[in-house]
Amino acid sequence: MALKQYQSGDTKVTARPTGQGRFQTRIEMRGGPVLADEPIEVGGLGTGPTPYELLSAALAACTAMTLRLYAERRQWTLPGFAVEVAHSIVAGDPPRDLFTRRIAFDEALAAEREARLLEIADRCPVHRTLMRGFEVVTTADGPAAPAEPPAQHLLDMEEACAA
C-alpha cells in the first residue's frame, strides 16, 4: 500500500488495523505514522501506545507547548520541565474519566510563578476541549469533514496566554 504524502495543511488523522495481532493499528498523520496497540497482558502486541495514552499525550504536549509560549511571551526563563499525564476511570453513576497531570520542573520556581504556570496549564486548548465536552459525528459515506486549519492550535494557545 502506498503511503499518503501529507501536506503542511493536512491535519486529518487516519487509523487502519495492520492485521498484526488483535489491536495493532497504524495511524497516519502529518509528521509520520504511529502504531497504536494494547499491552501484551490484555492481548495486544505491546507495539505502541494505547488510545488513552495517545489522548494523554495530546494533553501533555499541548500543556508543554502552552507553558513554553506563555513563558516566551513574558520573557521568563523556564528551567527544563516535563508534563506527565495519566488517564483513569473514576467509579460512579455514571463513571467519569480522570486525567491526572503533573508538571515537574527541573529547578524550583518562585511560588507565584509556579502558581501562574499551573493556571495557564488549565487554559491549554486540549485541556479546554476535554473540560467543555465535545460531539463526535460518525458517518460511513462521503468524505470526512475538514479538520481545523493547522494554525488554529497556535491561535488557541496564544489566547490561553493572553491573560
> In terms of domains, do 92 and 110 share one?
yes
> In terms of domains, do 108 and 28 share one?
no
> In terms of domains, do 101 and 28 share one?
no
In a domain, 141, yes or no: no
Average pLDDT over residues 145-163: 84
Q: What is the pLDDT of residue 141?
A: 85
Q: What is the pLDDT of residue 3?
A: 47
Under the banding of pLDDT at 50, 70 and 90, the label for residue 147 is confident
> In terms of domains, do 78 and 96 share one?
yes
E-state strands within 9-67:
14-17, 25-28, 34-36
> In terms of domains, do 67 and 108 share one?
yes
More confident residue, 117 or 163: 117
Average pLDDT over residues 129-155: 85
Look at residue 8 and tell me whether its pLDDT is greater than 70.
Answer: no
In a domain, 139, yes or no: no
> In terms of domains, do 43 and 113 share one?
no
> In terms of domains, do 37 and 65 share one?
no
- Give yes or no for a contact between 87 and 126, defined as CB atoms under 8 angstroms apart: no
Range of the domain at 88: 51-132+146-161
More confident residue, 36 or 151: 36
In a domain, 1, yes or no: no
> In terms of domains, do 80 and 152 share one?
yes
CATH code, domain carrying 115:
3.30.300.20
> In terms of domains, do 156 and 96 share one?
yes
In a domain, 138, yes or no: no
Q: Report how many domains make up the chain.
A: 2
Q: What is the pLDDT of residue 105?
A: 97
Q: pLDDT > 90: what percent of the chain?
A: 74
Under the banding of pLDDT at 50, 70 and 90, the label for residue 10 is low
More confident residue, 158 or 149: 158
> In terms of domains, do 83 and 150 share one?
yes
> In terms of domains, do 114 and 155 share one?
yes
In a domain, 55, yes or no: yes
More confident residue, 4 or 82: 82
For residue range 51-109, what is the model confidence (pLDDT) as tens digits?
999 999 999 999 999 999 999 999 999 999 999 999 999 999 999 999 999 999 999 99
In a domain, 96, yes or no: yes
